[in-house]
Amino acid sequence: MAAALALTAGLSAAAAAPASALAAPAPARQPVATGSGGAISTVDPDASRIGLEVLAEGGNAMDAAVAAAAALGVSEPYVAAIGGGGYITYYDARTHRVSTFDGRETAPRAMRADSFVDPATGKALPFDEAVTSGLSVGVPGTVAQWQRALDAFGSRRLGTLLQPSIALADRGFVVDQEFYDETVLNQARFSAIEPTRRLFLPGGAPRPVGSVFRNPDLANTYRELARKGPSWLYGGGLGQEIVKTVRKPPVAADATRTVRPGLMQAGDLAAYRALSPKPTRVSYRGLDVYGMPPDSSGGTTVGEALNIMGNFRLSAKDTVGALHTYLEASKLTYADRARYVGDPAYVKVPTRELLSRGFARERACLIDPAKALTAPVAPGEPDGRYGGCAPAAQGQALPYEGQQTTHMVVADKWGNVVAYNLTIEQWGGSGITVPGRGFLLNNELTDFTLQPPAPGAAPDPNLPAPGKRPRSSMAPTLLLKDGRPRLALGSPGGSTIPTTVLQILLNRLDLGMSLPAALAAPRATQRNTPQVQAEQAFIDRYGAALGARGHQFALFAGPPAGVIGAATALEFVRPGVVQAVAEPSRRGGGSALVVRPAR
């Protein structure tokens, strides 16, 4: 408790410090923490400290998650902001039930299936042009999601939970190598948007490593949001500023980049609602696995793959065989994901059948333990009539999806648990900063299929439509044993998210690794592509043996190249004791903290 009180006192002092004070030195990153009283793991030490402060002061897991998410909007502005959205999977210790909160962005009412098609060519806009545009910006869902989640399970007001992040934005954080590299990656497009250039490229260049990045505009935005509430965004003045920015992007006078205007109107913001759909659920190795349902593909993709893998005996006695099965199950599942999963308000998603054991057996019988299927494979038929193996046919290529999301896990002293993915899509989202507001807008609408299918081709469930939510891969996942939480995990990484979650579960539950080892292990991702993309350490360790079974490997293209995901997870190791885990090295490593460390 003394450690928690000392941390609380230090954070309170930081909150009281004047904006002109120097930022504190970058806090140390700690990838593993075990103890009691509450736990949190995020990619960022400042966000983890702020979330832990809420837990130490008696707040619950949902309170801490919202406070930490607001902090990520300050210190990780290229992946998390109130200009984006996300998904929360939540376990309530009082009722022993799992709930979800869908804050996915929506398309404006003026959007059509061909809105990303250039009429001059009849082809989809080049992806780079589609991303850095008002056309890519969906109606932000984060603030509405925070409020709905707090109304259901929080114990603190949103305005209270924003206060530590106001102090962080005023005081600043120390630029590290990861932040610098992300800025360099975006420098060309950031320089084309005047307020983005001023905020992230002062003097025309990225802030150097070791310098202090303050964001007083965001601090003031959070102050007004704390005072006025979410209606300020959904139908109020902030919403009007967002609409103006989307419809007429503030392009720099000397920019040569084409930045297309968007379609958003004030009514789109006023009509936005965060949702709370029923979670997906499958059983695997005696555990109940809960995830996000469509419009996310995370729950169906992870769940279907686990069902397929459950037809095989997997263990560390044959690690190569287990990895082969994981890769083949992923390949089959991604074929089904592309064909059937979209926003269920617009397309009929066969969620029950995708997660049925009969469909999993039908798909599993295609897996040859000695030989990899040729990808891309065709989708199955989740129609309720399941029999023997149908020959594996050729399918379609994997659509592009942005990589840069973030994930956190939180548990409190009562046993409530949060797994939370939040994002603005690309590193830097659309690249468009709302003038004077200090935050970037998302480019989530590029998660839609930008080119409608040719006449006679299979229907695409993920075409743009008015008010529609684009398909996501985010997969905040909870595992329960006899109604009690056992594991919580998730990762960023766009379409690699489900495979990262799957491989961590394989490592922990089948291969017998500890949770820290399961996260640190080298990764590979098979998303129904001709080649398995992998980290170099995975290729070095398993490439030859898996190659003998027909798998072809390529280094994961990224960005960042050669790095898949940046997971966070926690495990209840015994009653009242939680182990929080973050990445030890990927993307600079994460930050895991507990209120009372175990001795």
The catalytic residues are 405
Neighbours of 252 (CB within 10 A): 17
Q: What is the DSSP string of 351-407?
A: HHHHT-HHHHHHHHTT-BTTBPPPSSBPP---SS---SPPPP-B--PPPP----EEE
Q: Kind of pairing, strands 568-574 and 484-490?
A: antiparallel
Give the phi and the psi of residue 433 in degrees, each rounded to 5.
-95, 135
Q: How far is CA 360 from CA 200, 201, 286, in A?
A: 48, 50, 17
Give the phi and the psi of residue 592 in degrees, each rounded to 5.
-110, 130
3-class DSSP assignment, residue 337: helix
**Residue 25 burial class via C-beta count within 10 angstroms: exposed 0-12, middle 13-18, buried 19 and up:** exposed
**Residue 229 burial class via C-beta count within 10 angstroms: exposed 0-12, middle 13-18, buried 19 and up:** middle
How far apart CA 508 and CA 345 sit, in angstroms, is 35
Tokens found for residue 291? 């995830």
Tokens found for residue 586? 């990927």
3-class DSSP assignment, residue 480: strand
Asked if 165 and 171 count as a contact pair (C-beta separation under 8 A), the reply is no
How far apart CA 297 and CA 470 sit, in angstroms, is 10
Interaxial angle between packed helices 216-228 and 158-171, expressed in degrees from 0 to 180 and rounded to the nearest 10: 170
CA 494 to chain centre: 7
Q: What is the DSSP string of 215-267?
A: -HHHHHHHHHHHHH-GGGTSSSHHHHHHHHHHHS--B-TT--S--------HH
Nearest to 559 by CA among 3, 79, 213: 79
441: Cβ–Cβ under 8 A, 6 or more apart, which residues?
81, 83, 84, 137, 140, 242, 245, 246, 424, 429, 430, 432, 433, 434
> End-to-end alpha-carbon separation of the chain, Å?
12
Nearest to 181 by CA among 559, 441, 440: 559
| The residue type at 381 | E
